[in-house]
Structure formats: C-alpha cells, structure tokens
C-alpha cells in the first residue's frame, strides 16, 4: 500500500468516525441516572444531535419529538408529571438510543452561593445527628466552571473536581459525605432537602451550584446586569472580557511557562522547593528572635519566590462567568425554588447589594421562565469580634429590604447561631431548619407553622421610654437561648436555664448617639426600652453590630430579626 493511499484511508476513517460521533444524540449531565424531575411543571429536555435529526423523548406516558436545528441543538417539552409516580425510565431516541434510569418525580431545589452554602455535611457539626441512607433524596453537584458565554448544558470538569461531581447521586451516607469539595454535599442543602422530604413524603432532588469567596455579579447573566443601573460597571466589563478571553488564555499559558522556569531557578538559589517557602519563613522568624535576644546578627529573610501570574481568563470574580458556566447549564431544568446563602463577599458594599440581590432574583426567574419561583435567602449571621464596626449590620438590613422588595421570597435569620471568630459557622443544621420552615409554610401550604421569629412592627414614644410592638410572636415574646444544636456544634454544654436579662438593644435621642439600653418584655408582643442617659429618646436599634449579643425570641424558639427604628442615612457603603 503506497503512502498516499494509506493517508487517504486514515482520513476517510477519521471522517467516518467523526460523522458517527456527531450523529449521536447526547444529553447534558443534568439528565442522568437517579435524577429527580420537578413535579407539576413542564419537563424541559434538551441536548445535541446531527442537524436535521429527529429526536424523541419518552418519560412515563409522556412523549414529545423535535427536529434538531442547524446548530446541532434540540430542545423539547413534556407535559407535567405528578409526584408519586414511582421509579421511571426516560428514553431518548434519534439515530442512537439513550436510557436514563431510576428517575423520580418530586421536589427539586437549587442551592447556590458561596462557601457557607458549599460547607459540606462532613465539615459541619453532626453532634446528635444520625445520618442514614435516604434513597428518595438525590444529590447533584455542579462542577466549578468559568465560561465567557452561557453554556447550553455543558459542564466541564477539572482534575480536582470530586469524583461524584456532575452526576446525580442517591443520598447514601457515603455519597452525602463525599459529594463535594468541602467534605461532602452542601450541609444546608442536604438538611433542607431531608426536612422537606420528611415533611412531604415526596422525593427530593437537591442541586448544589456553589463557589466559595464569590460576589454576586459572577452569578448573574449579562442581561440581568443590564437591567440594574447600579450594576452598569459590571455589565460594561463583560464585552471586553469576552473580547480578550482567548488572548488572555494564551497570555496566561505563556506567563505560566516563564513562571515555572523562574521558580526552578529560585529553588536552586534558595535551596528548598516552593511548597516549603512558608515553613522556611516561619523557621527564620524563630531563629531571628533567638539571635536578636543573644545580640547576634540575623541572616536575611528567605528570598520571596516569583509571583505567580494571574489568570485573567479564568477568574471567579469576573461578572457573569459563574452564571455562564454553573447556572446556565441548568436552565430551564424544572425546579421548585432556590436557596441562596451569599453576601460575605459583598459585605463591603451593602447598599449596592440592596439593588444587586433583587436583580439576581429577577434575572434567574426570567431565564427559567417558570414564574416567580420561591427564592429563600440566608441572612448573614453574627461575625467578627469588633462589634463596633457595623458593615455586616448594614448588610443584613440590605438583605432584609432586598428580599421584601421582591415577591415570593423569604429570609432565614441566623443572628444567634454564628461564631464571631469564624466566618464559617459550624451549625448548618439550624440554618437549613429555618429555611425549611419558611418553605413548608410559604410553599407547601402548612399555614399554621411558625416559620419566623419576631419582626418589628412599630414604636410608640412614652416619655423617657420607647415601646416596641412586634409581629410573628407565636405565643409570645421571650428571652431565649440559641437552639440546642448550636451548643452541640461549638462543643458546649446546654444552658440549664433561660437568661434573665434582655440584651441587644441600644437607644438614642435627637443627637443620634446610641447607647446601651435596658429592655423589658411587657405582655406578649411588646418590649419597653429606656436608658438613663437618654431622657428624650427617639429611636431604637436591635442586634445592630457585626457580632451582637442578643436574645429576643418568640416562644417557638426563633430569633428576632435585627432592626432599627431610625431613618438615618447609612451612606453609600
């Protein structure tokens, strides 16, 4: 066989294989074995096939067909399915056949945000919590994925993605503890799903799309950013990022090669590897103290290594990139609603967040096209020992006002279960419980359920005192303690009695100088506040600091929401 003929046959075989591969019907990873389909809404299914190819999807007694477009994409819609249909199989047929097995119909919730939503079951406190296999609960963790343009369903994975990422998993104990980067599946997501399953007896699918340390704008689409004037800067940055994306990838690869060469030279010079730099600096510091104490000369500090180049193409702080790579691949997969635990990375600009959060909620709802689905937010907990700085207090108010400006939302108050020294509180069980209470009442119709702590209603000035009236008091206001699991999580004994003094209130006169106040519960729904230093009070604040000491609850054991009665400007923060 001559060389030209051999080359011709190789090319012909390659084209034939490529053609067959192109003809195959394919599904995005969200459509895979063990998935949960949202009940009572149209079932959207999509994927890829050869242009012009007819694709048919069958699920239970529902069937639909569509012809693939010229771009090789297809999308169709099946009629809604009711929960309780048992285990189903989805068949997808074009020139080839795909089978998706062990499909359930139930409740699907998306949990998203940053590290406190990412915090896994294995990392959170499990004191007094017994895990067991839950075959009716399914888990899906979206791979970390940065993209310049919205994905049609693709989910690229990296070498450091956990092995269970990007596929539906039955919630066995092993899968719960291994389905994620941070010691398992999202603890807030899992405990929420478990509570909903136990309360409704329906299958539950929890989808986790999270990335620690990320602000809100990377989770928004370009169109969503463009709807809010205060986000114009973020929106305007996107076209330039997209234009330079490929160039930045090449530039980064070139810079990395140079950096690696520089590091190799540096390692020869200093005599230790890069991963030992921090250790050697620490050892040098100890030696320097000893030599200084002895009056001896101190050797030079170890030379700093070359600075690693910044990857401008793959930066999780860039606007839209996480929506494109981690939310868009899910749209419009049917969901019941969203859990959102994020805001730490936006705490430096809380007043801007007042516009950002509603824009994000409306953005996702518009993209899904499924109406105003429930969107439940976790208000930031107490954090930071420097209680005089009120940045987080302002952020909590921004979260409260933002959620109340958008219909069909809810907010779980966590002001009593944070840890002032740790931005990642270990009690995720009670965060999930409070979200679930809101969902069961607002979404699942359990109208008699107590789902909120006391909320400020109005104030009346009575001479040297201010009387505060509250809603959501259940059977009445009490001075209380955090829930039992909080104490388990921080390895402390449970309190043996209720505190005697109501804490967390400050009061001011017309000079707007707030001082600690005496507060007393009177009747079921009022608190009377006063201070000797303020004979003519005008306003009160409660739990208004980054890490307040506060203990007002209703008798259902839910904490009062932080609030202020003044209308002072909080500036542009």
Relative orientation angle of helices 429-442 and 187-200, to the nearest 10 degrees:
40
Predicted confidence at residue 572, as pLDDT, reads: 64
What b/e string do you get for 221-244 counting C-beta neighbours within 10 Å, with b at 16 or more?
bbebbbebeebeebbeebeebeee
* 265 Cβ contact partners less than 8 Å away, ≥ 6 residues apart: none
Answer whether 388's CB lies under 8 Å from 545's CB.
yes
* 528 Cβ contact partners less than 8 Å away, ≥ 6 residues apart: 462, 465, 466, 467, 468, 519, 520, 522
- Please state, in angstroms and rounded to a whole number, the distance separating the CA atoms of residues 124 and 355: 31
Predicted confidence at residue 164, as pLDDT, reads: 86
Token couple for 445: 């119709």
Residue 271 burial (CB count, 10 A): 9
Predicted confidence at residue 573, as pLDDT, reads: 62
556 Rama class: left (phi>0) / alpha (psi -120 to 50) / beta: alpha
Write out residues in the chain with pLDDT < 50, as ranges.
Answer: 1-21
In the block, residue with structure tokens 């990335």: 211
Token couple for 409: 């939302």
101: which DSSP letter? E
Predicted confidence at residue 156, as pLDDT, reads: 84
- Please state, in angstroms and rounded to a whole number, the distance separating the CA atoms of residues 478 and 522: 10
Give the number of C-alpha atoms closer than 13 A to the C-alpha of residue 90, restricted to the C-beta side. Answer: 25
Answer whether 195's CB lies under 8 Å from 127's CB.
no
Q: Which of 261, 359, 265 has the alpha carbon at shortest distance from 303?
A: 265
What is the enclosing helix (H) or strand (E) of 429? Answer: helix 429-442
Peptide bond into 332 cis (omega under 30): yes
What is the enclosing helix (H) or strand (E) of 261? Answer: helix 232-270
Query: Which domains are seen in the chain, by residue range?
Result: 20-105 (2.60.40.230), 108-236+317-442 (3.40.50.1110), 239-316 (no CATH), 455-564 (no CATH)
Q: Which of 452, 326, 476, 324 has the alpha carbon at shortest distance from 400?
A: 452
Torsion of CA 69, 97, 142, 101, to 10 degrees: 140
- Please state, in angstroms and rounded to a whole number, the distance separating the CA atoms of residues 171 and 374: 24
Provide the CA 336 distance to its chain's centre, in angstroms. 16
Strand, coil or helix: 111:
strand
The predicted model scores a pTM of 0.91
């Amino acid at each position: 066989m001559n060389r030209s003929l051999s080359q011709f046959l190789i090319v012909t075989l390659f084209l034939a294989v490529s053609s067959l591969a192109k003809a195959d019907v394919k599904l995005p990873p969200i459509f895979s074995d063990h998935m949960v389909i949202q009940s009572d809404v149209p079932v959207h299914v999509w994927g890829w096939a050869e242009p012009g190819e007819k694709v048919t999807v069958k699920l239970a007694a529902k069937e639909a067909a569509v012809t693939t477009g010229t771009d090789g994409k297809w999308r169709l819609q099946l009629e809604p399915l009711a929960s309780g249909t048992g285990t189903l199989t989805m068949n997808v047929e074009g020139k080839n056949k795909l089978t998706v097995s062990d499909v359930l119909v139930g409740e699907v919730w998306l949990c998203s945000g940053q590290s406190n939503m990412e915090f896994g079951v294995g990392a959170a406190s499990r004191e007094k919590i017994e895990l067991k296999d839950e075959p009716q609960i399914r888990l899906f963790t979206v791979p970390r994925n940065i993209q310049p343009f919205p994905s049609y369903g693709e989910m690229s994975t990296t070498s450091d993605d956990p092995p269970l990422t990007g596929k539906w998993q039955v919630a066995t104990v092993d899968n719960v503890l291994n389905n994620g980067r941070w010691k398992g599946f999202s603890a807030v997501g899992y405990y929420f799903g478990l509570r909903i399953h136990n309360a409704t007896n329906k299958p539950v699918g929890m989808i986790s799309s999270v990335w620690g340390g990320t602000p809100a704008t990377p989770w928004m689409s370009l169109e969503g950013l463009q709807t809010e004037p205060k986000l114009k800067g973020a929106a305007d940055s996107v076209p330039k990022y997209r234009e330079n994306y490929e160039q930045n990838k090449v530039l980064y690869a070139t810079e990395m090669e140079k950096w690696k060469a520089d590091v190799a030279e540096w390692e020869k010079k200093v005599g230790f590897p890069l991963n030992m730099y921090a250790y050697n600096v620490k050892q040098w510091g100890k030696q320097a103290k000893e030599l200084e104490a002895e009056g001896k000369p101190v050797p030079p500090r170890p030379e700093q290594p070359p600075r690693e180049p910044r990857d401008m193409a793959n930066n999780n702080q860039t606007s839209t990139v996480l929506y494109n790579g981690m939310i868009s691949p899910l749209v419009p997969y049917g969901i019941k609603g969203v859990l959102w635990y994020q805001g730490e990375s936006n705490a430096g600009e809380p007043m801007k967040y007042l516009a950002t959060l509603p824009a994000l909620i409306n953005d996702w709802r518009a993209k899904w096209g499924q109406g105003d689905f429930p969107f439940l937010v976790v208000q930031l907990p107490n954090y930071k020992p420097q209680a005089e700085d009120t940045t987080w207090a302002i952020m909590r108010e921004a979260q409260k006002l933002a959620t109340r400006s958008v219909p069909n939302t809810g907010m779980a108050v966590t002001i009593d279960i944070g840890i002032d020294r740790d931005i990642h509180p270990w009690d995720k069980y009670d965060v999930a419980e409070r979200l679930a209470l809101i969902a069961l009442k607002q979404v699942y119709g359990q109208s008699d359920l107590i789902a909120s702590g006391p909320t400020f209603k109005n104030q009346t000035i009575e001479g040297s005192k201010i009387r505060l009236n509250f809603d959501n008091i259940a059977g009445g206001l009490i001075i209380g303690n955090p829930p039992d699991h909080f104490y388990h999580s921080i390895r402390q004994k449970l309190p043996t009695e209720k505190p005697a003094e109501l804490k967390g209130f400050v009061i001011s006169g017309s000079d707007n100088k707030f001082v600690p106040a005496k507060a007393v519960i009177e009747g079921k729904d009022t608190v009377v506040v006063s201070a000797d230093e303020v004979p003519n009070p005008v306003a009160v604040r409660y739990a208004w600091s980054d890490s307040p000491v506060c203990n007002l609850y209703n008798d259902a054991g839910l904490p009062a929401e932080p609030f202020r009665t003044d209308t002072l400007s909080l500036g542009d923060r």
